[in-house]
Chains A and B, each alone.
Chain A
């Protein structure tokens, strides 16, 4: 697989910006346009850029955590926001919040809604990542039909990696 230098460099430039934007959307979503869903999608789009440039190996090296861990972690986090209040005798999804004075950033509102939204964002990111994991392998179309078993997918990645660095 040939790598395009232009795409490669553009993707590397986009990535930090997009991720920062994603975090911004996530954190400010409660008061300004944004939120966990959009934040997750933007991060997912950033991952898509990396994928376009370097395929699954690059994606895996940028996001070392496995997609199902992100996905499950997000659901666990959101569920915890819902369930923990019940365990201590309050209603489901009971809200809490307190304000932090952070250096440089000023006042920051940490609330149950934000933690919940982070859970939503993680689920969305995990979902996008998982779609790549499912469909985005390194097989060129002409090998369709005798694609190797998922068990030896790692092997094929190794080979492609070598190809890429050659």
Chain B
């Protein structure tokens, strides 16, 4: 598996780098990693289905015990098959869909990387690795959705998707870390085997669920998914069927059995899932753009999936995993069909398409489209029916409040699904009577993935036990930790579920026949804002809040900043020191008499600094304070410090002078300026606090074990006699390296700021008139400038 992941990375990167050269060869190349994924899945399938998960571990930072742990159980196997299988279909399809140019090659490369990230996600065993791949899919989907980056709509949709899924990802990270800490393990398997309880774990779980619902486009975070329709159709097909949105469902399947006995779990899952299923369906039935119709259909189906996989009892989980497979197959096919129609007819509008004639050569595609839509609607003999039948039975058998709410909700949702499936399918079975509007039929290679996937949908619907029964059993068994016997079948006899199915189909047809009046009636009760608008409002609110906070905190007053910084850094610790340090053990400062003279000198210089009227004079007197400090260092026997202090003081004066040239020569009259007393107060507090701090520090013995050790080991270990220097370059060399890196950044920052400050302002000032003396391009102006200077 590690090799397969590396292969995805290598092929994806190669295609991206060589995109302009590869052109039409990108698509075949992009198919190879998917084939590798399928081969890998086939090689481990028999073991995994027998109940032995496949495991691998790869250490990437040995010293820190960081390993990439992978495991594949039944659920992982299903996900690998879907990701790689659908990925293969998409790669083949892309070869015909895109014109052979660099952009298409880039898309193919990104899709390969995306498939790799998705495979990593579904095989990750380490919590952090799972998160890493999770965010990787978010970022790659951002690139894929924003593929037409010159189009503002595409950029907006991509950003929308990224902001929602990546912030959901952050919530997921926080939640997983909390859960992992509570459980005391980073292994997902161990965490779920012994789930932590308590308040902290509850908060963590809530965050994880937030991550799941954003990724899986549940209400109220669904809007990015329909927005993502701006992506090229192969991308949409992949994101909507086997990957991206399924990542959330995958995690829901994993988590649900461990946490579904919590009180809040089932109501939350039911509410979110059913609202999503019904609201998505309501949006879908009124769409004219058939791609958008499918997108809202996906939202609806994701709600359905979230209910089934999240609710946490065995039958529903079986139904959920079955639907996971069925949905991947039919939704991918439907998107591919839309892509073919769009590619050939250059429209996705239902009304325009009804006017066009899909003539000879379109037969197989039309049949596939109708059959696959029927699978989505849950018509018997197709895979979708098996899944829906299982779901009905699960909730009917479960009973209780959860069972009743669940069954009512999913039947309502399924009626809507039936209606929008018909709306979609009608495009393909109705014939236009116009003869002049023939649409060129697609090539066989273009439509081949559609045929294959439709074939799978039919076979899985006819003999489900043989095709997906074992897979579903091993997946559910692995997740729930119980033996599940295969019950998937086309015919269970006449029971409640079958009757409900018949009713659903009938009600769906009825709803479809009366779509127009229904849409008119429900249009009035539709919410006034849609999801994207809500997202925008949220974003604007965030910006407003940021501006509000910034204007309050960042007033632009330098004295205020300095006062706040000094009070926090000096006065705070000093207050703490007064409370905790035993000051009676102070050493006598008069032991070294010359210190008193130096102290007096420093105090006088400090006082003088506040009284000097000229800025330059103040700087010089302030320098005297520094030189006095250097004297104290010498007296205390620290020549290194004294040297440094002297040099720093000298340089500081020069630097001050450089800056002071830009300021008036004299200070303003201090006493009259507002806030003068406040500044005096701050200065006094900070001065006294600093003194208290220094005294507090000198109470403790001057040496500690660490400093003794440094003195002791300096010569034998580092061959140096200057302990200070040995500490800097040997013992704590890495720290010093970090510090000089900070110096470099600071230097670049200072220079940049200084230069920005000197540049003529860009806004708020009239554009330069002709012959402006500031204009470097105008030789006459420069000369006059020079004359002025001379």
Interface residues of chain A, those whose CB is within 8 Å of chain B, are: 25, 29-38, 41-42, 44-45, 48, 51-52, 67-68, 71-72, 74-75, 78-79, 81-82, 92-93, 95, 97, 109, 111, 113, 116-117, 119-120, 123-124, 126-128, 130-137, 140-141, 143-144, 146-152, 155, 159-160, 163
Contacts and interface: CB of A to CB of B under 8 A. Distances in A.
B596 interface: no
Contact of A41 (B647, B737, B754): B647
B729 A149 contact: no
A109 B737 contact: no
Contacts of A41: 644, 647-648, 651
Given A30-B721, A134-B750, A149-B760, A128 B776 contact: no
B582 to A, nearest CB: 34
B662 A74 contact: no
A44 B647 contact: yes
B643 A33 contact: yes
Contacts of A143: 789
Given A92-B734, A120-B729, A155-B776, A42 B741 contact: no
A19 B754 CA distance: 28
A29 B722 contact: yes
Contact of B737 (A38, A67, A82): A82
Nearest to A93: B733
Given A35-B722, A130-B748, A134-B754, 10 more contacts: A33-B722, A45-B650, A72-B744, A79-B737, A95-B718, A113-B730, A120-B728, A133-B751, A159-B786, A163-B789
B740 A123 contact: yes
A116 B774 contact: no
Interface in B705-761: 718-722, 724-726, 728-730, 733-734, 736-737, 740-741, 743-744, 746-748, 750-751, 753-755, 758-760
B579 interface: no
A128 to B, nearest CB: 6
A37 B650 CA distance: 14
A52 B721 CA distance: 37
A73 to B, nearest CB: 11
Contacts of A78: 736-737, 740
30 contacts: A30-B718, A31-B721, A35-B722, A35-B729, A36-B728, A38-B644, A41-B648, A44-B647, A45-B650, A48-B650, A48-B651, A52-B654, A72-B744, A75-B740, A75-B741, A75-B744, A82-B733, A82-B737, A93-B737, A97-B719, A120-B729, A130-B748, A132-B658, A134-B754, A136-B658, A146-B774, A148-B776, A148-B785, A149-B776, A150-B755
A151 B741 CA distance: 28
A27 to B, nearest CB: 11
Contacts of A67: 747
A34 B651 contact: no
Interface string B760-790: 1000000000000110100000100110011
B358 to A, nearest CB: 63
Contacts of B789: 140, 143, 159-160, 163
Nearest to A141: B661
B769 to A, nearest CB: 13
A127 B743 contact: yes
Contacts of A51: 654
B640 interface: yes
Contact of A152 (B647, B720, B776): B776
Given A144-B662, A147-B758, A155-B782, A32 B647 contact: no
A33 B744 CA distance: 25
A150 B718 CA distance: 47
A82 B722 CA distance: 21
Nearest to B661: A141
B639 interface: yes
B401 interface: no
A71 B639 contact: no
B529 interface: no
A86 to B, nearest CB: 11
A41 B647 CA distance: 6
Contacts, number: 164
- 5 residue pairs, one from A and one from B, having the closest CB atoms: A41-B647, A152-B776, A134-B754, A135-B658, A33-B639
A131 B655 contact: yes
B729 A146 contact: no
Q: Which bucket holds chain B's interface residue count? A: 35 or more
Contacts of B720: 30-31, 113
B659 interface: yes
Contacts of A120: 728-729, 736, 740
A152 B782 CA distance: 10
Contacts of B729: 30, 35-36, 113, 116-117, 120
B472 to A, nearest CB: 50
A131 B773 contact: no
Please indicate which of the listed interface residues B659, B734, B774, B776 has the most CB atoms of chain A within 10 Å of its own CB: B776
Nearest to B755: A150
Contacts of B758: 137, 147, 150
Nearest to A122: B740
Contacts of A136: 658
A92 B425 CA distance: 66
Interface in B124-169: none
Interface in B494-535: none
A48 B755 contact: no
B751 A134 contact: yes
B722 A146 contact: no
Contacts of A48: 650-651, 654
A132 B776 CA distance: 23
Nearest to B732: A93
Nearest to B639: A33
B640 A109 contact: no
B643 A135 contact: no
Contacts of B725: 29-30, 34-35, 113, 117
Contacts of B736: 78, 116, 120
Contacts of A35: 640, 722, 724-725, 728-729
A130 B747 contact: yes
A105 B29 CA distance: 66
Contacts of B754: 134-135
Contacts of B773: 146
A41 B650 CA distance: 9
A113 B718 contact: yes
B722 to A, nearest CB: 6
Contacts of B651: 41, 44-45, 48, 128
A151 to B, nearest CB: 6
A52 to B, nearest CB: 7
Contacts of B760: 146, 149
Contacts of B648: 41
A156 B746 CA distance: 27
Nearest to A48: B654
Contacts of B719: 30, 97, 109, 111
A103 to B, nearest CB: 23
Contacts of A149: 759-760, 774, 776
Given A78-B737, A82-B733, A135 B659 contact: yes
Given A113-B720, A123-B744, A42 B776 contact: no
Nearest to A82: B737
A34 B640 contact: yes
A10 to B, nearest CB: 14
A30 B661 CA distance: 39
Contacts of A72: 744
Contact of A130 (B654, B733, B751): B751
Nearest to B756: A150
A163 B788 CA distance: 12
Given A45-B647, A131-B655, A150-B758, A30 B722 contact: yes
Interface string B652-671: 00110011011000000000
A52 B653 CA distance: 11
Nearest to B659: A135
A38 B740 contact: no
B759 to A, nearest CB: 6
